[in-house]
Amino acid sequence: MQYRYQDIQTINQREMVMADGFIISLQKCNQTWKRMRNMEVSVCVGERDITADIPFFRFFMDDKIIEILCTGKGLFRKRRGRRDFEHLRQQILRWGYSTFDLS
């Protein structure tokens, strides 16, 4: 399942709500991450890679893999994509979670 950064309607300490109404539960992503990595304690909710052709975040929620692509439009799309990437990373940190850096 793929979304663009622009598809995020709201983000808070519990969830991200996408434009189509899909909800990414940060708590479920954290539980899935801990189960996948066989960890008891972690605040990680997924992965991120700013060095990819299209910077992205990848979240694992139960049996779903959800990617959020940070793509901009126009002449400065790469710069805008990186700015959006950093903004989302900061929002996730703000609510007490982290993402694993793949870059």
pTM value is: 0.88
Beta-sheet pairing, 64-69 with 2-4: parallel
Would residue 73 count as lying in a domain?
Answer: yes
Q: How confident is the model at residue 100 (pLDDT cuts 50, 70, 90)?
A: very high
Q: Is the pLDDT of residue 71 over 90?
A: no
User: C-alpha distances in angstroms, 33 versus 23, 63, 70, 80, 97?
Assistant: 17, 11, 22, 29, 12
Would residue 103 count as lying in a domain?
Answer: no
Q: Taking all residues of the chain, what is their mean pLDDT, rounded to a whole number? A: 91
Would residue 81 count as lying in a domain?
Answer: yes
Of residues 79 and 9, the one with the higher pLDDT is 9
Q: List residues bridging with 46 in a β-sheet.
A: 59
In 1-102, where do the E strands start and end? 2-4, 8-11, 15-18, 23-25, 44-49, 56-61, 64-69, 98-101
Q: How long, in residues, is the chain?
A: 103
Closest-CA residue to 26 (of 37, 36, 41, 16)? 16
Q: List residues bridging with 15 in a β-sheet.
A: 25
Mean pLDDT, residues 8-20: 94
In whole angstroms, give the CA distance from residue 50 to residue 35: 25
pLDDT in tens, 16-47: 999 999 999 999 999 999 999 999 999 999 99
Q: Is the pLDDT of residue 70 over 80?
A: yes
Which pLDDT score is estimated for 74? 61
Range of the domain at 81: 2-98
Which pLDDT score is estimated for 77? 66
How many structural domains comprise the chain?
1
Would residue 64 count as lying in a domain?
Answer: yes
